[in-house]
Structure 1
Amino acid sequence: MINQAYSNGKFQFLNIMDIECKIPITKDEDEDHHQYFDGRRIHRVPKLVRFNKHNKEDYYAPKLVSFGPYYHGLPELGTAEEFKHKVLTMFVSSSGKDKQFFYCQIFKVIDQIRNCYVGVPRDAYDDGALAEMMLLDACFAVYLMKIAVGDEEKIIHFCQHLGLSVIKFAFIDMY
C-alpha cells in the first residue's frame, strides 16, 4: 500500500513493500513530468483486427509474456512473470543502484502511466502494484533487446529458464 504525505510541499513520501522513497518535488520539476504525457494513449487492438475470421484465435493476445496491464495476471503467462523477477534482480545488480531508486523514478510519473491505458480502471492497480508491473516489464524489455543484439550471456540465461523454443514468442509478445 502506498502512503502519501507532504512535508512543507517539498517531499513526497511513498512506501512500497517496506521501501520508503523521499522524492524532492519542485514546482518546475512537477511541470516537467507533464512532458511525458502528451495525450497519447495505449489502446487495445479492436476485436475486428485481433481475431481471425472464425473468431477463434486472438492474434494479439500474448503467448508467453505480458507487457502492461491489459493481459497482466493471466495464469498461462505465470512462468514468464516469475522469470521477470530474476531479470529484475540481474538488471538492478548490474546497474549499481537499488530497486528503491527505480521505484522512485516510476512513482514520479505514476499518474501519467496510469492515464496511458485506455479501458483499465484507475483503481485496477494501486500505485505500488502498477509501479512494480512497469519496472518488471521495462527490465524484461531491455533484457529482450540485449538478446536481440546478440548478448550471449542473456541468450543462454533465457534458454536455461524458459527454453530456446519459446524465445520467438517473447519477441512477438513484446512487439
Structure 2
Amino acid sequence: MAGCLEADFQFPMEDPLDELATTIKRKCETLPPLSSKCCIYRIPRNLRKINEKSYTPSLISIGPFHRGNPNFQAMEEQKLRYLQRFIQRNSNRDLEDYLTASMKWEKEARDCYLATISLSSIEFTEMLVLDGCFIIEFFLTWRRGDFDPTDRIFHRPALSQAILRDLKLLENQIPFFILEILYNIAFEDNEKAPSFLKLTCECIIGPNKIPDHYQKTKILHLVDFLRTYYLPPEKKETCYEGQDWEFPDGISELHESGVTLKVDKDDKFLNIKFEKGVLYIPELMLENYTESQLRNLVAFEQCHYPRESFVVDYVLFLDSLIYDRKDVEVLVNHGIILNSPGSSEDVYRLFSNISKGTTYSRATFYYADVCRRLNDYCGTPWNRWKAILRQEYFSNPWSMISTIAAVVLLILTVIQTYCDIIQLQY
C-alpha cells in the first residue's frame, strides 16, 4: 500500500514562465558592462551591402575583427619581421617590456570595441603588440624613405599604398593610445624623435605642421585621426529647426542662375563657402582609394558622431549638386573634382551611392546656411538676368565686341531718329 502511494505522488512542475524568466535574468546578469569608450565598430549592414569592398581589408588585418582570416595570413610574417626591426630601435628595452605595457591597458583597449572580443588575455595582448608595432614601423619606414633592400612591402609601391588604405578602414583599428604607448617606449630616450601624433600626420596627411585642433582633441584611432584633420576650424553649432532650407539645384543650374564657381586650394575638403555670389569648393582628388576613405569616414560618423556628422553632410551636399553627368563636367572643368581613374559617369555613381543608407539631422546640417543662401541668391531675378547676359553676350571677346557694336548701333539709330523728328518739327 505504501508503495502505491509513493508511485502516485508527483512533485509539482515548475511554471514554464518562471523558468523562462530565470533564464533571461541569468543572461542579463552575465552581460558585459557597457563602456563609454567604445569607438571601433563593425560596419552597419545597411552601409556594407552597398559596397562591401570599401570596408574590407585587401592585404592586412589590424585588430580583432578580421584576425585569423586566411586571406591575410601572408602579412602575419611581415608583422613579425617589422616587430623585430622595431624592438631594435631601443636597445634598453626588450619584447617583454612592450607586452607588459600593453597587457596593463588591456581592459581599456577592449572597451574601445563595440563587439565583445572573445580573444584570451594573452591573445589580445599579442594582437595589440604585433599590430601596433607593425603600424609604427610602417610609418617610420614611410617617413625615412630609405628602405631596406629586403623589405617586401616598400619595394613594391602598390603594396605600401594598399596597406595604407587598409589602415584607414574602420573595422581595421586598434586604439590610438596603444600606438602612442608602444612608440613612447621605443623612443623614450630620443629627444629628437617627433611625437607619434606628428609622425602619423606626416605619413597620412603629408609633411605639414600639426593642426592646432589636434592638441585639443583626444584621437581615438587612425580613422578618427583622419576625420579630425578635415574638421572645419570652427565647428559652429547650427540649428535651423523651424526655418526653411532645402538642398540647392544641381551645380549646372546654379551656374546658369548666376552663381560663380571657384576652386579652393584648401586641402580640407569640408570647407565649402558661399560669399557674394561665389561658391568656393575645395578641390577633391578622386583616386583609387578615395571612395573607400570617404565611406569609412561616413560609417564612423554614423556610428560615433551622429550630431557632428560633417563628412556625411559633405557627401549629401555634393550629392545634391550632382544630378547628372553634366553637373560632374562643370565641377571637373572648374578644377574642383580631379578625376584621375574614371569617367563622369563613375563620379556621378560614386556620389549617388555613397550617401545611400545614411541618416542626417536637418537641425545640425553643417551646410544648411550655404543651402539657404544659395537658394535665396538664385531666386533673385536680377542675378539670373545678369547670368544670362554674361553667358549669352559676354562669354568670349568676339561675342562681347558684337554685343557692344550692336548696342552702339542701336544708340546711334535712336539718336538719328530723334534728330530726324526734330528737323521735321522745324
Gap runs ≥5 in structure 1: 1-36
Give a deviation string over 1:99-137, Cα, whole Å, max 9, x none.
00000001111111122111134xx11111111100011
Residue 134 of structure 1, aligned match among 107, 128, 133: 128
TM-score by length of 1: 0.67
Post-superposition offset of 1:76:
0.6
Post-superposition offset of 1:147:
3.4
Residue 47 (structure 2) pairs with residue 49 (structure 1): yes
Quick one: higher RCO (CA 8 Å, sep 6+), 1 or 2? 1
User: Contact 1:41/1:118 (CA < 8 Å) preserved in 2?
Assistant: yes
Residue 70 (structure 2) pairs with residue 75 (structure 1): yes
Give a deviation string over 1:12-51, Cα, whole Å, max 9, x none.
xxxxxxxxxxxxxxxxxxxxxxxxx862331112122234
**Given the superposition, is the C-alpha separation of residues 125 and 155 from structure 1 closer, same or farther in structure 2, using an over 3 Å criterion?**
farther
TM-score by length of 2: 0.29
- Distance in 2 separating the partners of 1:154 and 1:100: 26
Give secondary structure in 1 for the equivalent of 2:55. coil
Residue 109 (structure 2) pairs with residue 113 (structure 1): yes
Q: How many residues align?
A: 133
**Given the superposition, is the C-alpha separation of residues 165 and 156 from structure 1 closer, same or farther in structure 2, using an over 3 Å criterion?**
farther
Identity among equivalent positions (%) equals 23
- Distance in 1 separating the partners of 2:75 and 2:141: 16
- Distance in 2 separating the partners of 1:167 and 1:155: 15
Residue 161 (structure 2) pairs with residue 168 (structure 1): yes
Give secondary structure in 2 for the equivalent of 1:128. helix
User: Contact 1:158/1:164 (CA < 8 Å) preserved in 2?
Assistant: no
User: Contact 2:38/2:113 (CA < 8 Å) preserved in 1?
Assistant: no
Give a deviation string over 1:50-96, Cα, whole Å, max 9, x none.
3436xxx4311111011100111100100111210111011112222
User: Contact 1:65/1:77 (CA < 8 Å) preserved in 2?
Assistant: yes
Query: What RMSD in Å do the two structures reach over aligned CA positions?
Result: 2.3
User: Contact 2:42/2:114 (CA < 8 Å) preserved in 1?
Assistant: yes
Runs (4 or more) in structure 1 with deviation over 4 Å come to none
**Paired AA for residue 69 in structure 1:** P
Gap runs ≥5 in structure 2: 1-34, 169-426
**Given the superposition, is the C-alpha separation of residues 146 and 118 from structure 1 closer, same or farther in structure 2, using an over 3 Å criterion?**
same
Q: Which of the two has greater strand per residue?
A: 1
User: Contact 1:44/1:118 (CA < 8 Å) preserved in 2?
Assistant: yes
Moved more, 44-53 or 63-72: 44-53
**Paired AA for residue 114 in structure 1:** R
Name which one, 1 or 2, has greater alpha-carbon Rg.
2
